[in-house]
Structure 1
Amino acid sequence: MGETVKMQISPADADVKPFENRGTPSDPAIIEGGASTSLKHESARMHVSGEATYIDDMPEPRGLVHVVPGLSTKAHARILSLDLDAVRAAPGVICVLTHKDVPGHNQVSPVGKNDEPLLAEDIVSYYGQPIFIVIADDRQNARKAAQLARITYEELPAILTIAQAREAGSALVWRPLEMKRGNVDTALSKAPKRLNGSITIGGQEHFYLEGQAALAQPGEEGEMRVWSSTQHPTETQHMVAHVLDRPSNLVTVEIRRMGGGFGGKETQANTPACLAALAANATGRAAKMRLDRDDDMIMTGKRHDFVVDYDVGFDETGHILAVDMVLAARCGWSADLSGPVIDRALFHADNAYFYPDVRFRSEPLKTNTQSNTAYRGFGGPQGIVAAERVIEEIAFATGLDPLDVRLRNTYGTGSRDITPYHMTVEDSIASEIMTQLAENCDYRARRHALRASNTHSPYIRRGIALTPVKFGISFTATHYNQAGALVHVYTDGSVQVNHGGTEMGQGLHTKMVQIAMREFGLTEDRVRITATTTGKVPNTSATAASSGADLNGMAVLDAISKIKQRLVCFAAEHWEIAEGDVLFLPEGVQVGEALISFPALVKAAYFARVSLSSNGFYKTPKISWNPDTGRGRPFYYFAYGAACAEVAIDLLTGETRIERVDILHDAGQSLNPAIDIGQIEGGFIQGAGWLTMEELVWDKAGHLRTHAPSTYKIPACSDRPRIFNVSLLEAAPNREATIFRSKAVGEPPFVHGVAVLQAISDALASLNNYTVCPQLDTPATPECILRTAERLRALPVP
């Protein structure tokens, strides 16, 4: 749908600095010949042919047993009695296990809080919590048997919403964080203009195509091998070892590919893996757990929903003077990753804008709902939605075009470069990208035309908005910013690469293949990526935080560089030439005046007893973060972009149609433009779906009612923009020494969906002649749009 377009930023005025004045990268060796090639996805053929193997496609070992969980039907209750006799007596059932059968620790908290039992003990804390597991010879038999349990509960007060948690003074699942700079109270009191408000931001189901699944096979002397659909094999390894009470060296976790993850398999994959391993350990047979879609949605955590209260001071020209925000989140029954998720929301509540005096505070609230978890953007999108509401409020209060308010408040130079967490923004290009995109898509003329057409259209109203994204790249947990790799060169010149990242469809493995191709001068068929396994690369970080290519790419490059250096030294000595005269080229290896094939060089090196295998390691430089002070440099760099969305809404039905979207995105020196554009397109659609149609609904008993495709709507083909133009920003390599000066493209594009929300708001604002901010909450479903329209119509029209 989109294409890569070469773009040069032409500043609209003297305050906007061109890219060429930003400085050039200092390592030409990394930039020269960068791997900006649109190589097809390494598993594309298998994806479309159905040959790609996922956990449930693996050949089943002889004697395999199937595992199904028995789930709580109360949101908060004490278990008075648990009668499983009928379950054990059901056809095909081999055994039934409870928390009493866990040989090690009945805990799977990923942050060491000991607040997340694998199987419930005396208390259940949400509707859908696993209480026991059924192990049977057939999955259907196990599912039927699980329904036969007779459980007596004593119901306890359940807190289900943010409002209830605040009213009840609910416990916090994590320490609250405060970021501040300057004196926000004084600045607010002295501001020429001031407003305050609140925005509710809904959650989101991951809805990966492949559900949670794991296969465990016991080995000799306590060994356990687990195939898990996980984004974090090392954490899954540690959890299985913890539950089985054995050292990590007896547990191996492997994953070739996932059918989607989006953060939902970073920690949430641990429970299925541990339960499968528990069953395998108890029976001595291979065990598989594949969650039914309903059970998956009821059991697992979602994107956090937020309520953000804001107080803003500004002047008549739209310049922001002070911002005070409180970000409250429904975290669920346990900590999970709520702490760092909400921290990242605070990190991004400024988006691309400088706030002279600022204070951000978090409220990570405990509720009796699923334990919310990582989701693409990891809290950043929620913070950015709040930032864009502030911009929108100021635009309506001053009568300015929201784009002008955005341009006047973006990070600039000097004192306008300091974030609320006291990190200096050294690479701000948000103004340039917004200015260029506005020119490319003719934003201002289209906005004028849409406003004119709305005056003659009683039922269909159109709106347009252009929004930026500034997204920090790195794990805020500093120790996760490391990666390992293992590279083998075989005597026939073929190469095998293994790294700690996981492939969930995003093309990470493809980019690692490209790095090896470029460095060794090989064709695609000579490089093979193997399954990610803790047996080859230990102590890996999760594939998350958009850092998969950054971290693992540099680790792979490190391993390859070691092997290349050995080959260079060998060739120089063997052929009596200078090391600088050995070059790896696509057509072969240039050794002085001669050109020899890569296999020939490798074989000669082997006979000379040169090591052709190496590990690699990388840790992100420059980063630091102190959560106690709310200060530091948590991000190595920022990724930027902008999106312009045009929508039409039907005032009779509340339906929204996305008419056109234009995106200009900063991927640095892209490793693979086609894959990156695909990530941008998919990220935008997922972000727009979150903000417009994906609605999570719990009843008063705490039962998630939107627990299947029949009740939870994700975007379909018909929901895509009618016109969809996606371009990568060129001639703007990363200032930092990332892999070939590229930038992360996993999470930042998700935020482009915010432009759709703002465009819907712009269309609704026409009901009051653009004088009142619609204050549209999310998701902006047809029902929400109709309620907002009714409220706006009730106001006097100037």
Structure 2
Amino acid sequence: DNRIARVWDEAKANANFVERKMAIAEFNRVNPYKKRGLAITPVKFGISFNKTQYNQAGALILIYTDGSIQLNHGGTEMGQGLHTKMLQVAAKALGVTINRFRMMPTSTDKVPNTSATAASSGADLNGMAVKDACETVKARLATLAAQMLKLDTADELVFEDDWIFCRTYPRDRISFDEVVNHAYNNRVSLSATGYYRTPNLYWDQETYKGRPFYYFAYGAAVSEVEVDGFTGTFKLRQVDIVHDVGESLNPLVDQGQVEGGFVQGMGWLTMEELVWDEQGRLRTYAPSTYKIPTISEIPELFHVHLLTRASQDGTIYGSKAVGEPPFMLAFAVREAIRAAVAAFGQNPACVPLASPATPEATLMAIEQVRSQPPTTQPNSTNGNGAVPHTVNNGSTDEIVEGAATIGLTPQ
């Protein structure tokens, strides 16, 4: 499954890339003081801690005789929806409704030796640990449920919607609460710890050899901007993203993470500049001087599509990490600004543009391309608002309009 190719093609198709490129060329032809740019950039982001020992997690599940369930895991909720996903994992693993659960604050007196919630691995690591704990308790309950249903084996038992039944005889069923009480009365433990460590990882920090990542997340973004030739400011007109999150645990949470990561990356690449004075004092130390994205920087049209048919083997229910990879998709904004800047000139072969591409930096780039002589090099922009870049497709170097490669090295 050449997933990056699917992502790339879907992003171009969803964004009507070819048609919009032609429309932008016409806009730029008749507008001398404002120019538009269109760019598409891919991302391939490795998932796992490069320090191998961090790729482990623990969990604790406690079931009470009233049927309520307490869940502890080692991840930190910081607004990314981790607790929500862990509740979903536990509910699915036990075949019960989510309202039974009480999610506890992360604490090392319940789950010790926790790894940082970082490297976009929070759901991957803790989800598998939660699932392991749930399956341990579930196996005990299944043995009792088989006895209560007078079955020879628990192999065909189904835990679903707070009921337990045999797949062959679904009408003959008992409630989850009944089995829990039966377990207590028969002195069967209703708690369990779970543990997970990511398999097949190894990395030599000195030789830079090994397999540091368990898998890769892929994405592509198409961005269109309009740049003001007098001020260097830009307006983000439209963003179309296709991102690979595997078999999403929670599509709404993942969509929000993609949107938030993209906007954060846009701030990094277009606004968030550190400036020191001659005495070495930081002058951009507050929101009044250190600019961050606000609601006015959100694109007028913001389309996020999660890649379908994308289940990932060996992860929690086929899902993929979605924290940091979308951050890198914001390169599409910077490259779109570069394309718009190029349209102010006479077919320049090179468009230098600082990062972050602040209005000052963009205005300086515009002045520079206006002063450059015309060129007929085949790889330069022709004023159509899309700058060609070289993309390595694994066998040959293909010129793809508006694309920018992102090379990631293990940290």
TM range (shorter): 0.7 to 0.9
Q: Residue 738 in 1 paired to residue 315 in 2?
A: yes
Match of 1:797 in 2: 374
Q: 2:338 aligns with which of 755, 761, 775?
A: 761
- The C-alpha deviation readout for 1:574-627, integer Å capped at 9, x for no partner, is 443121232101151215652222111101111011101000000001111112
Q: After superposition, where does 1:305-384 map in structure 2 within 5 Å? A: none
Q: After TM superposition, where is structure 1 displaced by more than 4 Å over at least 4 residues in a row?
A: none
- Structure 1 residue 654 and structure 2 residue 226: aligned? no
Q: Does 2:147 correspond to 1:581?
A: no
Q: Secondary structure at the match of 2:35?
A: strand
- When the two chains are superposed, the root-mean-square deviation of aligned CA atoms in Å is 1.3
CA displacement 1:358-395 (0-9 Å, x = unmatched) = xxxxxxxxxxxxxxxxxxxxxxxxxxxxxxxxxxxxxx
Letter in 1 for 2:240: D
1:782 aligns with 2:359: yes
Question: What is the aligned partner in structure 1 of residue 180 from structure 2?
Answer: 602
Give distance in 2, aligned partners of 1:501 and 1:656.
39
Aligned-partner SS, 2:330:
helix
SS in 2 for 1:614: strand
Q: Equivalent residues in 2 for 1:240-279 (5 A)?
A: none
Q: Deviations over 1:489-534 (max 9, x none)?
A: 1111111110000000000000000011112222222111100001
Q: What letter is aligned with 2:364?
A: R
Secondary structure at 1:533's aligned position in 2? coil
User: Partner of 1:567 in structure 2?
Assistant: 141
Instruction: Indicate the percent of aligned positions where both proteins have the same amino acid.
Output: 53
Instruction: Tell me how far apart the structure 2 counterparts of residues 642 and 757 of structure 1 sit (CA, whole Å).
Output: 14
- When normalised by structure 1's length, the TM-score is 0.46
Q: Any gaps of 5 or more consecutive residues in structure 1? A: 1-21, 23-427
Of 45, 63, 67, the match for 1:493: 67
In the aligned structure 2, how far is the partner of 1:470 from the partner of 1:590?
Answer: 44
Picking from 474, 492, 510, the partner of 2:48 is 474
For each residue in 1:286-316, what CA deviation from the matched residue of structure 2 results, as whole angstroms up to 9, or x when unmatched?
Answer: xxxxxxxxxxxxxxxxxxxxxxxxxxxxxxx
Cα separation, 1, equivalents of 2:278 and 2:188: 68
Q: CA deviation at 1:703?
A: 2.1
Residue aligning to 1:714? 292
Counterpart-to-counterpart distance in 2, 1:778 and 1:471: 21
Q: 1: distance between equivalents of 2:358 and 2:248? A: 35
Q: Which residue of 2 aligns with 1:459?
A: 33
| Counterpart Cα distance in 1 of 2:280 and 2:77 | 34
Distance 1:701 1:724 in 2: 42
Counterpart CA distance in 2 for 1:676 and 1:484 is 23
2:121 is the counterpart of 1:543: no
Show structure 2 runs of 5+ residues with no match: 376-411
* 2:156 counterpart letter in structure 1: D
* Letter of the 1:733 counterpart: S
SS at match of 1:670: coil
Query: Counterpart of 2:65 in structure 1: which amino acid?
Result: T
Alignment of 1:558 with 2:135, yes or no, is: no
Q: CA deviation at 1:723?
A: 0.5
1:750 aligns with 2:324: no
2:352 aligned partner, one-letter code: Q
SS for the counterpart of 2:128 is helix
User: Within 2, Cα distance between the matches of 1:607 and 1:627?
Assistant: 54
Aligned-partner SS, 1:590: strand
SS at match of 2:336: helix
State the shift of 1:644 in Å. 0.2
Match of 2:257 in 1: 679
Partner of 1:432: 6
Distance across 1 between alignment mates of 2:237 and 2:90:
41
Q: Closer, same or farther in 2 for the Cα pair 1:770/1:621, shift >3 Å?
A: farther
Q: TM-score, normalized by length of structure 2? A: 0.88
Amino acid at match of 2:157: V
Once residues 573 and 589 of structure 1 are traced to their aligned partners in structure 2, the CA distance between those partners, rounded to angstroms, is 12
Cα offset, 1:770, TM superposition:
3.5
* Structure 2 counterpart of 1:227: none
Separation in 2 of the partners of 1:563 and 1:534?
22
- Kept after mapping to 1: 8 A contact 2:144/2:179: no
Distance in 2 between residues matched to 1:440 and 1:544, nearest whole Å = 31
Is this contact kept in 1: 2:236–2:299, CA < 8 A?
yes
Superposition map of 1:620-659 within 5 A: 620-659=198-237
Written as runs of structure 1 = structure 2, the 5 A alignment for 1:404-415 is none
Query: Any idea what SS the aligned residue of 1:645 has?
Result: strand
Cα shift readout 1:82-122 (whole Å, capped 9, x = no counterpart): xxxxxxxxxxxxxxxxxxxxxxxxxxxxxxxxxxxxxxxxx
Q: Report the counterpart of residue 385 of structure 2 in structure 1.
A: none
